[in-house]
Amino acid sequence: MDNIIIKTENLTKRFGTFFAVRELSFEVYRGEIFGFLGANGAGKTTAIRMLIGLLKPTSGIASVAGFDVYKEPDKIKEKIGYMSQKFSLYEDLTVLENLRFFGGIYGLKSETIKSKSAELIKKLGMENIARKLIKELPVGWRQKVAFSVAVFHNPAIVFLDEPTGGVDPIVRRQFWDMIYEASESNITIFVTTHYLDEAEYCNRISIMDEGVIKALDNPSELKKKFDVDSMNDLFNLIARKKLLPDYEKTLQFYY
Amino acid sequence: MKRLFSFIIKEFKHILRDSRVLLILFGMPVVQVLIFGFALTNEIKNSKVIVIDYSKDEISKKMVNKIEANKYFEIIEHTDNKNIILDYFRQGKIKAAIIFPQHFSYDISNSRGSQIQIITDATDVNFANSIKNYISAIINECLTELVLGKDKRLTILPQIKMLYNPQLKGAPNFVPGVMSMVMLLVCVMMTAIAIVREKEMGSMEVLLTSPVSPVLMIISKVVPYFVISTIDLCLILLLSVYILDLPVQGSLFLLVAESLLFIITCLIIGILISIRTSSQQIAMLISLVGMMMPAVFLSGFMFPIENMPYVLQLFSNLVPSKWFYIIVKDIMLKGAGFEIIWKETLIIAFMMFLFLLVSFKTFKVRLYQ
Instruction: Give the Cα separation of A179 and A195 in Å (integer).
Output: 15
Write out chain A residues lying below 8 Å of B3, CB-based: 104-105, 107
Task: Please tell me if residue B111 touches chain A, with a CB cutoff of 8 Å.
Answer: no
CB atoms within 10 A of CB B61: 15
Nearest residue to A193 via CA among A227, A159, A242, A218 = A159
Query: Could A77 and B210 be called an inter-chain contact, meaning their C-beta atoms sit closer than 8 Å?
Result: yes
Q: Which residue has the higher pLDDT, A96 or B156?
A: A96
| Model confidence at A242: pLDDT above 50 | no
Task: Please tell me if residue B209 touches chain A, with a CB cutoff of 8 Å.
Answer: yes
Phi, psi of B129 (to 5 degrees): -60, -45
Query: Could A105 and B208 be called an inter-chain contact, meaning their C-beta atoms sit closer than 8 Å?
Result: no
Closest chain A CA to residue B199:
A87
Task: Please tell me if residue B202 touches chain A, with a CB cutoff of 8 Å.
Answer: yes
Helix boundaries (H) for B168-316: 171-183, 191-201, 203-208, 214-238, 252-276, 280-285, 293-297, 310-316
Which of B197, B205, B206 would you mutate first to test chain A, the one with the most A CBs within 10 A? B206
Write out chain A residues lying below 8 Å of B9, CB-based: 101, 104
Share of chain A above pLDDT 90, in %: 47
CB A80 within 8 A of CB A157: yes
Instruction: Give the Cα separation of B277 and A34 in Å (integer).
Output: 36
Q: How many CA atoms lie less than 13 Å away from B186 in the CB half-sphere?
A: 30
Query: What is the pLDDT at residue B151?
Result: 60
Q: Which amino acid does the sequence have at A182?
A: A
Task: Please tell me if residue B314 touches chain A, with a CB cutoff of 8 Å.
Answer: no
Task: Please provide the DSSP assignment of A205-235 as one string.
Answer: EEEEETTEEEEEE-HHHHHHHHT-SSHHHHH
Query: What is the pLDDT at residue B183?
Result: 86
Q: What is the pLDDT of residues A111-169, one digit of tens each?
A: 999 999 999 999 888 888 889 999 999 888 888 999 999 999 999 999 998 888 878 88
Query: What is the pLDDT at residue B153?
Result: 62
Write out chain A residues lying below 8 Å of B2, CB-based: 104, 107, 109
Q: What is the pLDDT of residues B288-341, one digit of tens each?
A: 998 888 888 888 888 888 888 999 999 999 999 999 999 998 998 888 889 999
CB atoms within 10 A of CB B346: 11
| Model confidence at A12: pLDDT above 90 | yes
Residues listed for chain B? 369
Task: Please provide the DSSP assignment of B99-131 as one string.
Answer: EE-TTHHHHHHTT-----EEEE-TTSHHHHHHH
Phi, psi of A77 (to 5 degrees): -60, -30
Contact residues of A toward B, CB < 8 A:
52-56, 74, 77-78, 80, 82-84, 86-87, 90, 92-93, 97, 100-107, 109, 159
ipTM over 0.90: no
User: What band does A32 get if pLDDT is binned at 50, 70 and 90?
Assistant: very high
Nearest residue to A253 via CA among A43, A215, A241, A240 = A240
Query: Could A80 and B13 be called an inter-chain contact, meaning their C-beta atoms sit closer than 8 Å?
Result: no
Instruction: Give the Cα separation of B322 and A87 in Å (integer).
Output: 41
CATH 3.40.50.300 fits A4-254, yes or no: yes
Nearest residue to B299 via CA among B281, B324, B333 = B324
Which of B3, B7, B10, B18 would you mutate first to test chain A, the one with the most A CBs within 10 A? B10
Query: What is the pLDDT at residue B42?
Result: 59
Q: 3-class SS at B243?
A: helix
Query: Could B210 and A93 be called an inter-chain contact, meaning their C-beta atoms sit closer than 8 Å?
Result: no
pTM: 0.79
| Model confidence at A246: pLDDT above 60 | no
Q: What is the pLDDT along chain B (369 residues), one digit of tens a residue?
A: 778 888 899 999 999 999 998 998 999 888 988 887 777 665 667 788 999 988 888 888 888 888 888 878 888 888 888 888 888 888 888 888 999 888 888 888 787 788 889 999 888 887 888 888 888 888 888 877 777 666 666 667 677 787 877 766 767 777 888 888 888 888 899 899 988 998 888 888 888 888 888 888 888 989 999 999 999 999 999 988 888 888 888 899 999 999 999 999 999 999 999 988 888 999 999 999 988 888 888 888 888 888 889 999 999 999 999 999 999 989 988 888 899 999 999 999 999 999 999 988 887 665 544
Angle at alpha carbon of residue A145, lines to A197 and A147, rounded to 5°: 50
Query: Could A101 and B7 be called an inter-chain contact, meaning their C-beta atoms sit closer than 8 Å?
Result: yes
Query: What is the pLDDT at residue A1?
Result: 47
Helices B171-183, B320-329: axis angle to 10 degrees equals: 140
Longest dimension (CA), chain B: 95
| Model confidence at A250: pLDDT above 70 | no
| Model confidence at A248: pLDDT above 80 | no
Q: Beta strands B96-100 and B73-79: pairing type? A: unpaired
Write out chain A residues lying below 8 Å of B15, CB-based: none
Q: Which residue has the higher pLDDT, A178 or A42?
A: A178
* Burial annotation A184-198 (CB, 10 A radius, 16+ → b, else e): eeebbbbbbbbbbbb
Edge to edge, the sheet with strand A67-68 lists A18-29, A4-15, A59-64, A67-68
Phi, psi of A43 (to 5 degrees): 110, 10
Number of CB pairs, chain A paired with chain B, less than 8 A apart: 70
Instruction: Give the Cα separation of A63 and A27 in Å (integer).
Output: 10
Phi, psi of B250 (to 5 degrees): -90, -160
Q: What is the pLDDT of residues B246-285, one digit of tens each?
A: 888 889 999 999 999 999 999 999 999 998 888 899 999 9
Which residues have C-beta within 8 Å of that of residue A192, sequence separation ≥ 6?
A35, A36, A37, A38, A44, A45, A48, A160, A161, A162
Helices B171-183, B214-238: axis angle to 10 degrees equals: 160
